[in-house]
Amino acid sequence: MPRRDDIHTILILGSGPIVIGQAAEFDYSGVQACKVLREEGYRVVLVNSNPATIMTDPEFADATYVEPLLPAPVAKIIERERPDALLPTLGGQTALNLAKALHDDGTLERHSVELIGANYDAITCAEDRELFADAMATAGLEMPESAIATSMDDAQEALPRLGLPCIVRPAFTLGGRGGGIARSEQEYEQIVKRGLEASPIGQVLLDQSVLGWGEFELEVMRDKADNVVIVCSIENIDPMGVHTGDSVTVAPQQTLTDALYQKLRDQAIAVIRAVGVETGGSNVQFAVNPSTEEILVIEMNPRVSRSSALASKATGFPIAKIAARLAVGYLLEEIDNDITGVTPASFEPTIDYVVVKWPRFAFEKFPTASPTLTTHMKSVGEVMAIGRTFSQAFAKALRSRELDKPPVPRACSDEELLAGLETPTADRYEAILELLRRDVGIDPIHARTSIDPWFLRELERLAKDPQAPFAGERSFKSVDTCAAEFPARTPYYYSGWERKATHEVTRGERQSVVILGAGPNRIGQGIEFDYCCVHAAMTVRESGRDAVMINCNPETVSTDYDTSDRLYFEPLTLEDVLGVIEVEKPEGVIVQFGGQTPLKLAAGLVEAGVPLLGTSVEAIDLAEDRGRFGELLERLGYQAPPYATACSVAEALEKAQDVGYPLLVRPSYVLGGRAMEIVYSSDGLADYLRREAPTGDDKAGHPQGLQSQVSGEPGTPHTAPETQARPTIFLDRFLENAVEVDVDALCDGHEVWIGGIMQHVEEAGVHSGDSACVLPPHSLGEEMLEQIRAATRDIALGVGVVGLLNVQYAVHDGRLYVIEANPRASRTVPFVSKAVGLPLAKLACRVMLGERIATLELPTGHEGLGFGDHVSVKEAVLPFDRFDGADSVLGPEMRSTGEVMGIARDFPTAFAKAQAAAGSPLPRSGTAFITVTDSDKPGAFAVAQILHDNGFQIIATRGTAEAISRMGVPVLPINKIGDGSPHVVDWIERGDVDLIVNTPTGFGARTDGWEIRRSAVAHGIPCLTTLSAGVSAARAIAQAIKLGEPDVLSLQELHSGAHASPDGAPVA
């Protein structure tokens, strides 16, 4: 059947900010869909609030809206754009839920928009656990004994039948948020309560436990003629009980007999038919009891997912691309498999290698949160590795994780380690490998983890001889979907080790440029960097060279084989990268776009004689070495906050005196302000140093290398911080109540061009990655802006940057201080590019390839403030709701997982949009609770005043209440927790609070504030933890009340008038 021509305009919903459970995989899927649908001649309208996505680059859609993924704004977009169809299956849970809402509130019907891909009934059937259970029963498929509860009473009633442990899963939440495993009656109550709160429809599914059964996923595709194929089977090495997103998984499945696997296959097909997904991909999860061969259906996702992205990268079968074609009427047999070019997509990929996926965790950022792995997802990213054998892939995956420190099992006796295995944690595999090395055998481990013996035997061999998988010669083989039965056209490679090297790389004659990716998403290094790498690839191709991508993150656009001329799916360690360089012989390597990851390799590459493009290693070091950078600033006549570096605890305590308190302390060479804290006294400092045992002092405690040994790479760069004899502690004078400013600039070594100047909403002290920022700055005078531009120019030239530079400043008492300079693409590059309508990363790449800024024909009169009359606000999105016990107060250590952008004609409206997009829409009425530190009390009244004038009831704790009423604003004083009930937390729990402004009352004594913020997070109430954010919020609310639902404007409209960008496209 041909493509549908009864539809012309198709609306695609993105998945919004990167959050745990929804990451870059949806940018990857969305980009593929946009490309395909436009190739097919459809008009594509895209909505996504996440500026760091490739899909929101204007050239990927006909109309691109960076707006909150909420019914109201999207309804406005539908009114303006009049799409014929809405494709909701590419934006994860967010898009599905939003599509559902737009159907329920009648918007879709009113504008006669058809849901394609998955229709309304299929979505509800798959997402509503009760309907799903019925559908499975009708199809004769088994599920775990279960009950649906919408109240605690339902839950209590069901317990006797289900027994403990019991699995609690909220309906319609992402990655199982709010769910868990109840092992005792008390836990049962807690988790059910939490689950009911977390579920948007107040519903939880209570499942009888099948903990320890094998967990399998099948990726299924169906076309509208009811042809079904299984793209890939995925086996979770961690059995049932650890969320698939947190499990180490392997493709294809390893342990099932053909007979049993075919049963799974039959059932997966039965599921997609029963749910009624007419076209596209679905992910079906099963629990399998290997000894009884019982199979239970766990769930299905009627959309592309994290697993489908993984399956696409693992097999070369582009699920999202094909799903998009199916959605507009094609049949599988009518679509080409672009890897072979000669066979149709109506087949099942077969592979002749093994793929291992490893989650990347961030527990170190949430010390107070529980580190156990359970049924709700906690990992922030993942890596994938391909090898010819399981052990090759597993070891490559280990080293791909790029941990700051290889986790070393704390407990040391066999007994302790074994006991530790009973509850799954992020470092369980390190413990398992350690035990296997000690020869405890696989049985005691199997007994505690239920991990299939086959995997344990493989790990045992690996533990005993970490180098074994890498015997022989590195051999680059291609991913071809067909185990070499047909020649592959698509150059997508991985390294295996064979007796003799038999490279399959077809290099061609053209010069190539290697772009090093950013590796796993993690807090501090996210999708923004992948965005830049993709732009680099585009630019290199446009320059007539071959773009060669090296990366190991399966979620990303950079690891789509369409993005570059050759893709090497490899770990980003020096050894692995040099392996690629050996066969590629590139003209140069780009290390500037992948965040800290490639930067760490720069020196090693140069030593190995590899030419770098752009900023030299020498210059990188000049910017990153505190000492040398300090001297440079002095020479240039700019100020840095007083600072010192120390190599030992003693030295730190001593030098702290000269620098002066308050101090900002941190270990060296870390991204995202890892372990960065503000200390107010020498006691505070001593305490910090005790907790964050500086690496220098505890080297002994870290026998170098469990992890690096097993990954077959002694002393890989990811352990560099430990192995370098550099200062290990940095002490900076902490500038209180300073305004922080971020600048992204472009330099060709002779000339500097200011890309964008961003003023932070929160004051310095809140990590740049966690604070909201606005472009153009909303309260810096032109004189200060000039100083900032001048300083940026001098620093860029002084350092010798060729490419991008990011400088962070603090404006304190009207004085400009330089906080740091990063000689690379920064987290804010995508945001700035979209705000000013110029593709910073592409421009930088052209400079690195030899062009001069002068020849880039950059528009003038911009001065880092953007064009036109719009204001752009970036807001960070934080994962506190996933880590019970984590404090949501912002600090110098970055903890956000993603970001959103709000664009409007004025700052308050843009800020309001950003808040809404970030998941905490500001209220328009109700009760505002204010409690602030003494230093903030004078300012608190301003917030109260605005809110009061706009009809809010103001409540506050006694001290704050006095400060406010003294200024004549009516306020109701309420109890602190200490004063007894009804106290503030009771108010919040009762749902009587709609907005919270709570600045931490001094450091240390946080208990009350902590409780407040926790319940705010639990109940999803907007909670601002700095006064500046509080003021902005109040002004935003006032503006929203005055103007009503804000207008929506596409990026194309926004930038068309403004200017034409160098490469034609308004923005890129």
Ligand X SMILES: Nc1ncnc2c1ncn2[C@@H]1O[C@H](COP(=O)(O)OP(=O)(O)O)[C@@H](O)[C@H]1O
Place of tokens 């009809």: 951
Q: How far apart are CA 210 and CA 930, in angstroms?
A: 46
**How many CB atoms lie under 10 A from the CB of residue 889?**
18
Could you say whether residue 175 binds ligand X (CB under 6 A)? Answer: yes
Q: What CA–CA distance (Å, rounded) separates 646 from 667?
A: 10
**Exposure letters 634-643 (e unless 16+ CB within 10 A, then b):** eeeebebbeb
Q: State CA 540 to chain mean position distance.
A: 26
Answer yes or no whether residue 347 interacts with another protein by CB under 8 A: yes
- CB-based contacts of 321, cutoff 8 Å, min separation 6: 32, 33, 35, 36
**Toward ligand X, which CB reaches closer, 296 or 853?**
296
Task: Report in angstroms how near the CB of residue 204 gets to ligand X at its nearest.
Answer: 12
Alpha carbons 494 and 653: distance in angstroms, whole number: 49
CB of 763 to ligand X, least distance (A): 8
- Of 343 and 423, the one with the shorter C-beta distance to another protein is 343
**Is residue 249 close enough to count as binding Mg ion by CB under 5 A?**
no
Q: Is residue 768 near Mg ion by the rule CB under 5 A?
A: yes
Three-state secondary-structure class, residue 874: strand
Interface residue with ligand X, options 664, 685, 689, 788 (CB under 6 A) = 664
Q: Tell whether residue 164 is a contact of ligand X (CB under 6 A).
A: no
Q: Which two tokens stand for residue 333?
A: 């047999």
SS3 state of residue 750: coil
User: Segment near ligand X (CB under 6 A), from 239-247, 584-592, 786-794, 995-1003?
Assistant: 239-247
Q: How far is the CB of 626 from Mg ion (least distance, A)?
A: 13
The interface with another protein within residues 570-589 (CB under 8 A) comprises none
Least distance (Å) between residue 132 CB and ligand X: 10
Determine the size of the site formed for ligand X (CB under 6 A). Answer: 42
Q: Binding to ligand X by residue 879, rule CB under 6 A?
A: no
Question: Per rule CB under 8 A, is residue 350 in the interface with another protein?
Answer: yes
Peptide bond into 777 cis (omega under 30): no
Binding footprint of Mg ion, residue count (CB under 5 A): 2
Residues 633-672 that bind another protein (CB under 8 A): none
Min dist. Cβ of residue 342 to ligand X (A): 37
User: What is the token pair recorded at 357?
Assistant: 């996926």
Residue 584's H or E segment, with its range, is: helix 574-584
Any residues with CB less than 8 A from the CB of 266 and at least 6 apart, and which? Answer: none
CA distance 829 to 806: 9
- What residues from 293 to 312 belong to the interface with another protein (CB under 8 A)? 293
Distances (CA, A) of 28 to 49, 313, 318, 338, 425: 15, 11, 10, 17, 29
Q: How far is the CB of 534 from another protein (least distance, A)?
A: 30
Torsion of CA 826, 672, 1018, 49, to 10 degrees: 10
Choose from ligand X, Mg ion, another protein, none: what does 346 bind? Cβ within 5-8 Å by kind.
another protein
Tell me how far, at minimum, the Cβ of 374 lies from ligand X, in Å.
8
Nearer to ligand X, 35 or 895 (CB): 895
Under 8 Å between Cβ of 359 and 424: no
Of 506 and 779, the one with the shorter C-beta distance to ligand X is 779
Binding window for Mg ion (CB under 5 A); candidates: 428-436, 808-816, 897-905, 945-953: 808-816
Considering only residues 856-885, where is the footprint of another protein by CB under 8 A? Answer: none
Using the contact rule CB under 5 A, the part of the chain among 65-73, 179-187, 690-698, 807-815 near Mg ion is 807-815
Nearer Cβ to ligand X, position 672 or 717? 672
The amino acid present at 766, given as its one-letter code, is: V
851: which DSSP letter? Answer: -
| Residues in 468-497 that interact with another protein by CB under 8 A | 475, 477, 482-487
295 or 916: CB nearest ligand X: 295
The 204-208 sheet, strands edge to edge: 146-149, 204-208, 166-170, 180-182
Residue 283 in the binding site for ligand X (CB under 6 A): no
Binding mask 526-565 for ligand X (x = CB under 6 A): ----------------------------------------
In Å, what is the CA distance from 390 to each residue of 498, 524, 714, 1018?
14, 31, 20, 41
Give the binding range for another protein (CB under 8 A) out of 55-63, 153-161, 343-351, 421-429. Answer: 343-351
Could you say which of ligand X, another protein, Mg ion, none residue 211 binds, taking C-beta under 5 to 8 angstroms by partner kind?
ligand X
Taking the least distance from each CB to ligand X, the nearer of 378 and 437 is 378
CB 772 within 8 A of CB 759: no
Segment interacting with another protein, rule: CB under 8 A, options 161-169, 451-459, 909-917, 947-955: 451-459
Using the rule CB under 6 A, is 820 a contact of ligand X? Answer: yes
8 A C-beta contact, residue 777 and residue 757: yes
Asked if 498 is part of the footprint of another protein (rule: CB under 8 A), the reply reads yes
Which parts of 753-782 interact with another protein (CB under 8 A)?
none
Residues between 666 and 685 with contacts to ligand X, criterion CB under 6 A: 671-673, 676
Query: Residue 441, SS3?
Result: coil
* Gap between the terminal Cα atoms of the chain: 35
| Residue number with the smallest Cβ distance to ligand X | 176
Q: 531, 505, 548, 569: which is closest to 357 by C-alpha?
A: 569
Binding of ligand X at residue 735 (CB under 6 A)? yes
Residue 130 to residue 206: CA distance in whole angstroms: 11
Taking the complex as a whole, the smallest distance from the CB of residue 567 to another protein amounts, in Å, to 18
Residue type, position 355, single letter: V
Query: Closer CB to Mg ion, residue 728 or residue 808?
Result: 808
- 636 touches 795 (CB < 8 A): yes
Residues 382-441 that bind another protein (CB under 8 A): 388-390
Beta-carbon count within 10 A of 607 CB: 10
Give the DSSP letter of residue 1053.
H
Collapsing DSSP to helix, strand or coil, 554 comes out as coil
Which positions ≥6 away from 500 have C-beta within 8 Å? 472, 473, 475
Taking CB under 8 A as the criterion, the residue among 254, 616, 648, 945 binding another protein is 254
H or E stretch at 34: helix 25-39
# chain residues binding another protein, by CB under 8 A: 52
Q: Mention every residue, 6+ apart, whose C-beta is less than 8 A from residue 935.
A: 737
| Residue 243 is a binding residue for ligand X (CB under 6 A) | yes
**Shortest CB 876 distance to ligand X, Å:** 11
Q: Pairing between strand 9-13 and 85-87? A: parallel
- When asked if residue 247 is in the footprint of Mg ion (CB under 5 A), the reply is no
Question: Do 505 and 493 contact (CB within 8 A), yes or no?
Answer: yes
Judged by the rule CB under 5 A, the positions of this chain that interact with Mg ion are: 768, 808
Judged by the rule CB under 8 A, the positions of this chain that interact with another protein are: 225-227, 229-230, 252, 254-262, 265-266, 290-291, 293, 332-333, 343-344, 346-354, 388-390, 453-454, 457, 475, 477, 482-487, 498-500, 502, 504
Judged by the rule CB under 6 A, the positions of this chain that interact with ligand X are: 144, 167, 169, 175-176, 207-211, 215, 240-244, 285, 298-299, 375, 641, 664, 671-673, 676, 732-735, 738, 740, 764-768, 808, 810, 819-820, 892
